Every structure is written in C-alpha cells, then in structure tokens.
Structure 1
Amino acid sequence: MTNKNIPTLYEWAGGMPVFEKLMIKFYDKVLQDELIGPVFKHMSPEHQRHVAHFIAEVFGGPKLYSSGEGSHAAMIMKHLGKHLTEAHRKRWVELLIATADELDLPADPEFRSAFVAYIEWGTRIAVINSNETGVTMNPDEPMPKWGWGEPGGPYQP
C-alpha cells in the first residue's frame, strides 16, 4: 500500500525553479572545468533547461521533456559516440553534487540517497552509451521514473 502523502522527489526538492537553477549553476561550473568543459563547449543555449526538465520529470515532475523536448530514446542517442570516460563521469557527478550543496537542495539522507543514486545510475549509462555508435532501442521507451526506493535488479544492456 502506498502512502499518498509522500511527496515525489521533484516536490521534495522544491519544484521546477530548483531544477532549472541547479542546471544553470551546474553548467556554469562545467564550462569552466578543464576536464569536462570541452565536452560541453558547443552545447545549445537550451541544454541546461532540457536537462533540468529531463531530471525533474524522472523525479516525478511535469512531463515537459517528454511532451515537447525529447524522449528517453532521444536522450540516449545524444550520448552516442561522445567517448566519455570514467574520469568525465566522476567529475560531472562531483560538480553536480557540489552545486546541489551550494543551492541547499534537501540534504536529508533519504533525498540525497535517491538523488545521488539516480545521478550515478544515469551517468554510468551515459558513459556506456557514449562508447557506442548505435543502440537498438524502442523509440517509445518510457522515461525513467525515480522515487524514494531502490531501483531493483542488476543492469542489463
């Protein structure tokens, strides 16, 4: 039985303004970073907003990303052939968590556990896909949904 009084991760974080501010501040850091700055130097002016909407939707927010900006399959395809390394991934995670701390995102263990778990999961998939030239994927693959619990089961490509 689910408790209807439990907020989504999106709600607990503070809603869309928080995710949009997080990504703006985060990508400011990324562009200044010697290791991962070059990976993002040609990103579109909408990149931060798209990533904010993607993560917000994954965390239970409105379907802004999937209803007009892209799909889960499209997000996967954006990483193909980028040849991201574990060092890139770790730095991306480090900068995002530091930005979350600076912006006072909730620091309770439950939220941070879920937040960091998703960031770890997503960045590891991004590295795997970045070293591929193509993937077989249903173009209607649903968006990931992340909540307060564990993701369940081992990764299977």
Structure 2
Amino acid sequence: MIEKSSTPTLFEWAGGMPVFERLTELFYQKVLNDPLLEPVFKHMSPEHQLHVAHFIAEVLGGPTWYSTAEGSHFRMVQKHLAKHLTEQHRRRWVSLLLETADEINLPDDPEFRSAFVAYVEWGTRIAVINSNSDNLQMEPDEPMPKWGWGVPGGPYQG
C-alpha cells in the first residue's frame, strides 16, 4: 500500500481549482485593459483563461485536466511561436499576475510564494524564448513541468 504524503501540493495549499480559475479570470481582465499586453491577447479564445488556469494548476500538483483533455506542454509553448514577446511584455505579464495573486489572497507565505514565483519566472522566460523563434526549442513528447516545494531536480521531476 502506498501512503499519500501528508504534505499538500502547491495546488492544494493554494486552495484548489476555484482559486486558479479566479486568478486567471481576474488576471486576463487586467491583461485586456493593459496597453502593452492587450494587443498580444485581444484575439485569444474565450477558453484561453480557463486553459491557463488548468495548466498552472496541473504544474503545481493539481489534476491533469490540461494534459489529458486540453493540450500538452508542447502545445502550450507552441502557441507562443512567432508572437515576438519582449522582456517588457514578460515583466508586465508577471507583474499583473502577482498583483492579481495578492488581490485574491493567494497564500503569501514565503515557501509557497517562492515556488509560485519560480514557476512563473521559468514559464514566462520559456514563452519569450519560443515566441522569438519559428521552431520550438523542445520535443513534442516533453512531459508537463511539475513544480513543488523547492525540491531540487528541475521542472520535469517525476
């Protein structure tokens, strides 16, 4: 019999899927009202914010809704190809996301926030790199990243 760890995942610690769905709902409202980001996101599908909520939730230890029904890490990164995102876009995106996280009272303890911010920094830098390329810098079967409580080993740990 395998025992479940008593340590909650980052997803559980944050409060579960409703928290991530609320985070992305409010965040993308800000994005669409931001003069720098609005041109990049104005044509996003109505499902975009929900897909992003499911993606982030899965990365942080939540259910595999994104990878089993909505896409893959490869497909998420692929959506950024040739968007020509700049460091200024990335910083604004991160700033608005963290501002929204504070507004919805996402846990602000140092351990959670350091893990959350580490993932956001990593993910947005991957997006910028691939947005300025015509070819993805990854393999199609690359696994979903998995983020935890400061565990060494990188985003693809098992």
Compute the TM-score of the two structures, normalised by the length of structure 2.
0.92
Matches within 5 A, 1:125-136: 125-135=126-136
Q: Which residue of 2 is the match for residue 58 of structure 1?
A: 59
Structure 1 residues not aligned, in runs of 5+: none
1:119 partner amino acid: V
Give the percent of matched residue pairs that are identical in Structure 1 and Structure 2: 73
Partner of 2:84: 83
Aligned to 1:37: 38
- Match for residue 106 of structure 1? 107
Distance 1:82 1:151 in 2: 32
SS of 1:79's equivalent in the other structure is coil
Native 8 Å contact 2:130 2:137 kept in 1: no
CA shift for structure 1 position 82: 0.3
| CA RMSD between the two structures | 1.5
Q: Give, in whole Å, the separation in 2 of the partners of 1:136 and 1:97.
A: 27
What does the per-residue CA deviation read over 1:96-147, in whole Å, with 9 as the maximum and x for residues that have no partner? 0000000000010000000001000100110000000012533221100000
- 1:121 corresponds in structure 2 to 122
Q: CA separation in 2, counterparts of 1:88 and 1:79?
A: 13
**Aligned partners of 1:42, 1:145: CA distance in 2, in Å?**
29
Secondary structure of 2:20's match? Answer: helix
| Distance (Å, rounded) in 1 between the aligned partners of 2:15 and 2:101 | 12
| CA distance in structure 2 between the partners assigned to 1:61 and 1:122 by the alignment | 17
1:15 deviates by 0.3
- Residues 83 and 64 of structure 1: CA distance in aligned 2, closer, same or farther (over 3 Å): same
Distance 1:121 1:151 in 2: 14
Hey, what's the Cα distance between the residues in 2 that align with 1:110 and 1:54?
Answer: 21
Distance 2:76 2:121 in 1: 16
CA distance in 2, matches of 1:84, 1:42: 15
5+ residue gaps, structure 2, are: none
